[in-house]
Amino acid sequence: MEYLLSVDLGGTNILIALAKRKGEIVRLQQFPTGAAAGPESVWHNLLAGLEEVLCREGIPWHKLAGLGVCAAGFFDYYTRSIISSPNLPGWENISLEERLKEKLCLPVLTENDANAAAFGEFIFGAGRGKRNMVNVTLGTGIGGGIIIDGKIYRGSGGFAGEIGHIPVLPEGPLCGCGRRGCLESLSSGSAIARAGRAAIAEGEQTILKKVIQNSGGITASHVFEAARKGDAVSVKIIERANYYLGRAFATIVNILNPSLITLGGGMARAGETIFTPVRLHLKEAAIRPSGEMVEVVPAILGEEAGVRGMLALLEQHLLQN
C-alpha cells in the first residue's frame, strides 16, 4: 500500500493529511505554524509535523508516493516559489518545492492554497459534476480559485483568481495589497470588524459599544451578532459588505460565465444573512443569461478543502510524471 501526504500551510495552522493512494484520509492533524518566528521556524514545524503524522500511523517514509503542499500567499506556479505572503512573514521568493524534494527525496507538488481549495470543492465537494466553477473563501481575507473545463485557471504568471482584489470602489479603503477599494477592503471579516470600530469612533448609536467594553475588541462575528439583534449600524455594515460581494460576483459571472460559485470560509457560516442578498446583488448587476444560470451555494469541505484538493492534484501529477 502506498500513501500520500498533503499539507495546507496557513498563517496560523499547518493542517496535514495522510491518505491511502486513491483512497481515504487515514489521519488529519493540525500543528501551529509559528509564522511570527520566521521561515526557518515554519520549515522546522512543517517537517516535525510530517514526522509525527507518519510516526503515529506507523507508516515509514518509503511507503510514501508523494507530498503535496498548498500555502497562503502569492505563489508563482511557473517558478514554483512563494513570491510573498501577508500571512507568512519573511517568505519571499522561497522555493518550498525544491527544498522539500531535496530534503525528503520524494515527488513534491506545491500550489497556492486558494487554487487547492477550489480544486478540492470541484472534485470532492459542492462542485462535483460541474465543468466551470469558482470557489471563494470569505474569512479574514478573501481568496478565490477558478476552475475552467475541469482545470485550475492560472493565467500567464499563475496569479489568476485573486477575487479579493477586484477593485469595486474607486478611492475606497486601503487594502492589504497596497491598492484602494478592493473587494477584500470592503467585504472581508477584517473589513467588517474595521467598519464596526469606525462606527464606534464616529460616535454612532450602536450596541457594538457594549461589546467593546465587555470583550475589548470587535470582530466580524460581533458585528453579525449585533445585526441579528437588530442593531441598525451593524445591519448597514453587513448590507454594504454583501452589496460589494454581489457586485464582484457579477464581474466574475460576466467574464467567466460559470455554472457555480461556491462560497466557504469562516464568514460563510453566517448562511442566508450573506447568501440571499449576495445572490440578489449578483442578479441585479450581471448580464441576464449568465446571472440566471449561475448558482451560489455554500462550499462543503470546510478547512479540509485545501488538503483534499492537494491530494487530487498530487494523484494527477503522479500519473502524468
Contact residues toward Zn ion (CB under 5 A) are 165, 175, 177, 179, 182
Amino acid at 197: R
| Runs of H (alpha helix) within the chain | 39-57, 96-104, 113-124, 184-187, 189-201, 208-215, 220-228, 232-256, 272-285, 288-293, 305-320
Q: Using CB atoms within 10 Å of the CB of residue 164, give its burial: 0 to 12 exposed, 13 to 18 middle, 19+ buried.
A: buried
- Residue with smaller CB distance to Zn ion, 65 or 83: 83
Burial 260-283 (b: 16+ CB within 10 A, else e): bbbbbbebbebeebbbebbbebbb
Task: Identify which of residues 169 and 285 has a Cβ nearer to Zn ion in the complex.
Answer: 169
If the CB atoms of residues 184 and 315 are measured against Zn ion, the closer one turns out to be 184
**Residue placing its CB nearer to Zn ion in the complex, 165 or 247:** 165
**Whole-number Å distance between alpha carbons of 196 and 203:** 11
The CB-of-70 to Zn ion minimum distance in angstroms stands at 21
Contact 141, 183 (CB under 8 A): no
Question: Residue 28: which residues within 8 A CB-CB, separation 6 or more?
Answer: 15, 16, 17, 18, 304, 307
Q: Which is nearer to Zn ion, 154 or 165 (CB)?
A: 165
Q: Under 8 Å CB-to-CB from 151, ≥6 apart: which residues?
A: none
Nearer to Zn ion by Cβ, of 137 and 290: the residue is 137
Shortest distance (Å) from residue 247 CB to Zn ion: 15
- The helix/strand/coil state of 288 is helix
Q: Are strands 260-264 and 295-298 parallel, antiparallel or unpaired?
A: parallel
In this complex, which beta carbon is closest to Zn ion, that of residue 127 or of residue 144? Answer: 144
Smallest gap from Cβ 32 to Zn ion, in A, equals: 27
Closest approach of Cβ 277 to Zn ion, in Å? 22
Minimum gap (Å) between residue 94 Cβ and Zn ion: 22
DSSP 8-state assignment for residue 175: P
CB of 175 to Zn ion, least distance (A): 3
Q: How far is the CB of 246 from Zn ion (least distance, A)?
A: 18
Question: Which residues on neighbouring strands pair with residue 136, listed in sequence order?
Answer: 144, 263
Q: What is the DSSP letter of 268?
A: G
Give the nearer residue to Zn ion in terms of CB position, either 110 or 187: 187
CB of 260 to Zn ion, least distance (A): 25
Q: Would you tell me how many other CB atoms lie within 10 Å of the CB of residue 52?
A: 14
